[in-house]
Amino acid sequence: MSKKKNRQNLGCLFLILISLALCVQLIRNNPLVGILVLFLVLLLAVVVALLFRSRRCELCGNVIERKSHLWTIEGAKKTVCPYCNQSLARKRSSAATRRFK
């Protein structure tokens, strides 16, 4: 894992701990508002986790790190990695050249 990613993870952990401390303080002062804020923080954490999860290639299952490509395969749109994209493009190109021979 790179240093930049470690710093981002550490920053996220820091924000989560601060928000939990805020919720505990709110629960002490006003339990209803504290529980509501705690619920909202947990909901926001789940949404962020779902948004930033790693994407996977729908053909080979590898994690897509940088660039993804969209292909229509058997009527369904699929996100593929650069390697599978290159393979699919090669197959399509060779099929097209076979038709013209």
Of 41, 45, 47, 70, the closest CA to residue 58 belongs to 70
Residue type, 78: K
Q: pTM of the entire structure? A: 0.49
Q: Are 71 and 80 in contact (CB under 8 A)?
A: yes
**Residue ranges of the domains in the chain?**
3-53, 56-100
pLDDT score of 9: 66
pLDDT score of 1: 47
- Per-run averaged pLDDT (10 residues), the chain, 101 residues: 58 79 84 83 78 79 82 87 90 86 69
Query: In whole angstroms, what separates CA 33 from the centre of its chain?
Result: 31
